[in-house]
Structure 1
Amino acid sequence: MSELALSTVVPATLPTHLSGMAGTNRAPASASRQIAANDDVAAIGLWLAEYHGSPHTFRSYRKEAERLLLWATQIRGKAVSSLTREDVLAYEAFLAQPLPTWCDESLARRGDHRRLFAGPLSERSQRQALGILSGLFNYLVRAGYLAGTPFALQPRSRRGRQGRRTIERYLDRALWQDVLVHVEQWPQASGRDRQRYERARWVLRLLYETALRASEAAQARESDLFHRRGCWWLRVTGKGGVEGDVPISEALMADFASYRAFHGLPVVPGSDSPRPLILGIAGRDAPLTATAVYLIVKEALGRVAEVVAPTDPVRAARLRRASTHWLRHTAATHQAEAGNPVHHIQHNLRHSSIATTSIYLHAEEDARHASTTQARATIPLPKERP
C-alpha cells in the first residue's frame, strides 16, 4: 500500500513483537478508528500517502520515518507504536551521534540500499527530524491508531525557542543582485550556451518573483496563469493540496515572453495550454521534475560562486550552500524588508499561520545589532601603557 513498505531499507515484514500489532501505545479497541491499518508500517505508509502530491515533502518525510522505524526495531528492539518519552530522548541522542554503520560512505546516497546518515545531524536538522516525527505521531493519534504521542511531553521552553527563530537561509539584496548580474555575463556563443543561459535566467527569476517551491514550479502550467482586474496571477497548488493565487508582475511576464520567444513560442501564454512554465530540455513540452529544477538552480549559483570566490570567499560559500528553497526565503525576506504587509507575504507564501511568516521579519534584529555595536564603538579604548 505504501512506498515505505516496498523499500528494501525497511523489511517487508517484521516479527509480531516489532510490527506494532501489539504495540503498548496502541489505542484501545473501543477507540474510534479512522484508518484500517493494523501495523506500524501500514499506518506510517498511510500517513506518507497524504503527501504524494508534494514529492519533495514525501521524500523528506519518508526518510525520517524509515530512520525511526529501523532504529526502533533494530537498535531499541521495540515497535514504533511502543515507543515512550525515554525512547524519544534516546533517539534525539542517536541523531546527534548515529552509529558508524549507518554513515558508511561505501553505501550509495540514494536507492533502497543507501546509507541513512551522512554523519551526525546539526541541531537544526535534529529539530526538523523531530518535528516531522511529531507530526507523524499526532496524525496516528488523531487516526485512532495510537493512544498518545511521546512528543507531546517536549518542554514548552524548547518549543518556544524554535518558534522565535528567524530564517537565515536567504541571500541579501546585494548578493542576489550579484547573481543576476553574473548570469547576464554568461557566454552565449553556442546554441547550448544560449539555452542554458535562457533557462537559468528564467528559473531564477520565476522562483524569486513567485516564492514557489521547486515542486510547485515544476508543476506550474500556462493554464495556471490568469488575468484579473488588469493584473496577472498564478494559481498554485502547494503542500497538502493548499491552493493560492500568487501575484505576477509585468516585469516577470516580460521575462516569460522573452523565454518563450527564444523557444519559438507565442509571447502570450495560452489560457488553456498544459505547457509547463519551465520547459524541458531543448524546449520540449514535457515538464521537468522538482529535482531537475533544484539542479538548475544549484548549477547557476555554483557558477556565480566560482566567479565571486577569488574576491569574496565568504559570499561564495553562501552561494554554494544556497538552493531552490533559499530563493523562496530570499523572496519573502526581501518582501518584508520592502515593507510588504506581513499578511500579504503570508498569502503569497500560502502559510496557514502568520507566525510562520514572521520568521522573515529581520528589521528588529538588524536594529538591535546596529544599536548595540554602535554603542560599543562610542566607548573610548584605554590608552596603551608605556
Structure 2
Amino acid sequence: MPPAKHRTTPARRGLRRAGSAAIAGAASVAGVGLVAQPAAANDNVWDRVAHCESTGNWSINTGNGFYGGLQFWHPTWTSFGGGEFAPYAHQATKLQQITVAQRVLRVQGPGAWPVCSVRAGLTMTNGLAPYPGQDAPAPAPAPSPAPAPGTSGTWYVSATPGANIRSGPSTSHRIVGGASTGSRITGTLSNGWVRIADGRFISQTTLTTSAPAPAPSPSPSPSPSPAPPSASGTWWVSANVGANIRSGPGTNFRVVGGAAKGTQITGTLSNGWVNMGNGRFISHATLTGTNPGGSTPAPAPGAGEVQTWRVNAPIGANIRAGAGTNTAVIGGASHGTTVRGTLSNGWVKLDGRSGWISASILIQTG
C-alpha cells in the first residue's frame, strides 16, 4: 500500500519515504481538495483515475519515481506481477497497466490511490469490472511462498530504499518508524499486513521471504557496492529530497539536521547507519558510493577563513551554542538563508553573531 508521495514536513507535504508498497495520488502534489473530477474522454473509472494521476498520459515517466497513467511505484508494479508485461509501468500498454491496478485494488482497496480514487469514484465493484477490450480482470499473481494469513513468520524488506512502519494495517494510519532494505521482520501476517508488535505494522508488499545474500568481500579497487559493516568510507546523498541527519542510528532518534542530494558524507558504516561523528547519524539507504560529480559541495575553506554559506536543509538549521548537537539550540535559520562564518571540525562558527551551524546542512557559496 502506498506511503504518501511527499513529506509531512513543512518542506514537502505527505512523504513517501522509506516506502510501503505504493501508488500514490498525484493530486496530492498540488494539495487540492477532494472536488469532482471532470470526466475523461472515456468515462470508465480507470480513465478518470488516470486523468487525475497523470492527466491521462499512460506512457508518462517524469523521473519522480512513479510510472505510467496510474503512477505506479516500481516495487508495487513488480510485486503485483507487472514484470510479466514490461520492466516498468510506463512501458506497458494501457490495458496491462489496468490489469495490474486491478490486482492492487483487490489487496489494498481504493485507498491505494488515496486522493484520485475519491475524485474518480473508484470502488471495488467498478474497479474490478472488465475494462472495454478486456475479457476479465486477471487474478492477482500467486505470492511468493509465505505463511498462511494469521500465522507467524519471518520476512526481509525488499523495497528500496526501505519500508514504512505504521500504527495500523493500512496507509491511512500514521508512520511510526521505518525499516531499511534487507531488514529482518518477524511478526504475524493478516490481510496483507505483518503485525510486528502492538501498534506497529508493515505492508507485505514491501517484503520477501528470501534472506538477502551476504555482502561480497571488499575488492581492492573502489566499487559502488555497499560498504561492509563497520567500515569507514565516503558516500554521497542520493535521495532526491535529501536525507535526515539523526541523533542516533535509527528512525526513532530525533532529527538534528539534513543533507541535500549530492552532499559528501564521511563516517563509519554499521548496521545500516553511517556515524558521522559528534552524535550525528545518516541512513545508508539514502546514500550511494558513486560521486555524482558537479552536485558535490565545494571544498572546505582553509582554517580561520570567513566564507559565505547557504542553508540547504528543507527543515531549516538549528543555531547552537557550541560545535556539537549536545549543545543548546539558541536560534534557527530557514532553508535558503545566507550566513557567513568559519569552518572548524564540521561546524561553521557564525561571523558577527553568536552560534554555530553544522556544515553538513550548508553549501559554500563564496
Q: Same fold (TM over 0.5)?
A: no
The structure that has the greater radius of gyration is: 1
TM-score, length-scaled by structure 2:
0.28
Q: TM-score, normalised by structure 1?
A: 0.27
Structure with higher strand content? 2
Which protein has the bigger helix share?
Answer: 1
- Larger RCO of the pair (alpha carbons < 8 Å, separation 6+): 1
